[in-house]
Structure 1
Amino acid sequence: MSKRVVCWRHGQTRWNVEHRFQGHTDIPLDESGVAQAARAASLLASLKPSMLVASDLRRAYDTAASLSRLTGLEINVDKDLRERSGGDWEGLTSQEIKERWPKEYAIWTIPNGEPAMTVAVRVAEAIRRWADRLDDDGVLVVVSHGAAIRFGLAHLLGLPEELWHALGGLSNCSWSVVQEGRSGWRLMEHNAGTLPEPVRSDDIAAQTDEG
């Protein structure tokens, strides 16, 4: 069996509910997010993961902690798994962004924000780096953020940037699974685990709560 990587988005935060762009802002899980993490962790534990790594932002780390408690795995922390920096948009709602930056909003160009390709490269490289430590049949759980996971997976799978939209957003505490094969990585599951949950996710213009 080949190496597998489970890319798990953190649980819900208050800013997710308010459709605020989170980015690098260190927002905690809300009560629903804590419950989501516990429920999802009980499912992921059945995969018998062999390694656990999380973004250093508390919403991701605390989500990872729910799985750590069940499995006894140490939580490794990697800043390269952080969400996309939202620049001038962090903390603002989608409506506020649309009103203040209508042109930028229309083409999703974030003033003073992190370019999508930069996010994709750093997240994909982090996934590869940790996956290289696995045994051939190991399972790595990566706990990160909506846009970070989507961009990183797209890059890992070799998709050109103009096709990244083909990967839909991730609901809070849902995950995607990739498996390493002879010719590279392939997508086995996407946005799995907590459906039907509303997708309050990454960089979709109508839902701007990146994080």
Structure 2
Amino acid sequence: MGFGLLDMIRNDLYGKYMGIDCRFWEIGDHYMLQTDYDEKLVANGFKNYNDKELKDKIYKEVILNDIKSAFVVRTFCKYIGGIYAVENIYEDNVLLYPSTETHSQLGLHPYDERRALTSYDEFNKYAEEIWEERKPIEGFEFEVESIFYIKKCECPNNIIEWYVRKPLNLKKGSELWFVYDDETEEFKSIVRANENREIIFEQICFTNIL
């Protein structure tokens, strides 16, 4: 999996220290900072992890006054016409959670907690917009923009149009089709299909993975 937009996605607490954003958490009356390896930061007190899985990360213990600004970050996206929270990235997959509006547009039950699963490459290619929403943390200064766009589409959305839900197995929306269970009519996935309704590629599926 190569470098792409998803390498910039964050969902955590971040503090600004020495001009950079570091993931951080509280440990007693101190705070632990973590960021990507940088020789200049190591020269300024950051340390390497002994754990091989964290070989590309470094850390430093600081006090509250060392952190110039702090905030909570959640990343969202506009993907094939819907709005989703970008929850996780693992292996070659991206896990998304639909917004309330998208949840309704897809015909999902209000208590349906399934996530949308798509591939890393497909997401990098078809995500129209990706942005961070930042909120302040009590006790810290808040000196960042509330909304920060990682990717912003300058063109009108012509990828998908939402249709009134009908009890069909496949329902067309632009070049994409919505798949429902024949018996329960439960929404299952969004696919690319030809004129004969033969599935070419599963663009996004819904799963119980958390």
TM-score tier, shorter chain, comes to: under 0.3
Higher strand share: 2
Q: Which has the higher contact order (CA 8 A, sep 6+)?
A: 1
Tell me the TM-score normalized by structure 2. Answer: 0.23
Tell me the TM-score normalized by structure 1. Answer: 0.22
Higher helix share: 1
Higher gyration radius (CA): 2
